[in-house]
Amino acid sequence: MTAIDIGCGNGLFTKNMTSQFKSILSIDINPIRVRNLKEYFIQNEITTVTVMEMSAYEIEMSDESVDRAIFYRSIDHISDYGRALKEAYRVLKKEGKAYINILDTRVTNERIDNMDYFRRFADELYDELKIGEGMCEIKYVDIGQLKVKLLEIGFKHIHEQISKTTEEDKYLGKIDNGIKANLSRINKEVAEKYMGYNARYEDLLGKVKRIGIELRPTVEIICQK
């Protein structure tokens, strides 16, 4: 069985699923992430995965040539996700399946908002220091509209389930530790800028202490061509 991981990012899905597929093509438009992921598979001597810098809008693959099309936490980073889904439909074999994992925008509370604030703050900080990987801004997807789009494209047997993944669980502490370490770097470089970032960071910590912090659940959608 073959798969394409569309918008593979840091390769979390691909890394965990190499044993499940005969071959995987992992694509992303971010050259830094593509380079890092290529190095990972070379270092680990994994030959069943091909990593390429490629747009989700123009997949360099023949019609009906792959068994599974994967959008693992990438649909909500793609501006025209309908166009990307059409490309996935094109390259899927008949009866092939698409797997989509995205944030569940139907669920929200102040604790979830705090986690979103932390993510955005970390991204901005890392961009300031030019140590980030060029993450695209998350564009929250309406689940109902997504299902309608899937039907319009031609997908069938659309199944949905809520799945609170462990990906962010592992990084809650790391996000905080990374922010602390990199705030120190700004402190050495530009004292005034450090003061501004540090004040915002302390404000975030205060909100977390008062209200708490919580992961937004994700939605898994599986459908068939």
| Overall average pLDDT of the 15-32 stretch | 93
- What residue ranges define each of the domains in the chain, with the CATH number in brackets? 2-224 (3.40.50.150)
The tens digit of pLDDT for each residue in 83-123 reads: 999 999 999 999 999 999 998 888 889 988 888 888 788 77
The tens digit of pLDDT for each residue in 134-164 reads: 555 677 899 999 999 999 999 999 999 877 6
pLDDT value, residue 66 = 97
Element (H, E) at 25: strand 23-28
Look at 83 and 214; give whichever has higher pLDDT.
83
Confidence of residue 32 (pLDDT cuts 50, 70, 90): confident
pLDDT > 90 in the chain, percent: 51
Q: What is residue 140's three-state secondary structure? A: coil
Q: Please, which residues bridge with residue 221 across strands? A: 100, 160
pLDDT value, residue 164 = 60
Cα–Cα distance measured from residue 24 to residue 3, given in angstroms and rounded to the nearest whole number:
5
Cα–Cα distance measured from residue 204 to residue 210, given in angstroms and rounded to the nearest whole number:
10
Confidence of residue 60 (pLDDT cuts 50, 70, 90): very high
Is the pLDDT score of 17 beyond 60?
yes
Query: Do 183 and 198 touch, CB atoms closer than 8 A?
Result: yes
| Overall average pLDDT of the 4-27 stretch | 93
Cα–Cα distance measured from residue 220 to residue 225, given in angstroms and rounded to the nearest whole number:
17
Backbone angles phi, psi at 73, to 5 degrees: 55, 35
Is the pLDDT score of 191 beyond 80?
no
Query: Do 37 and 14 touch, CB atoms closer than 8 A?
Result: yes
Query: What is the overall mean pLDDT for the chain?
Result: 86
Cut 0.75: pTM above it: yes
Query: Do 218 and 97 touch, CB atoms closer than 8 A?
Result: no
Look at 142 and 173; give whichever has higher pLDDT.
142
pLDDT value, residue 107 = 84
Q: How far is CA 219 from CA 77, 120, 144, 157, 216, in A?
A: 15, 21, 12, 16, 10
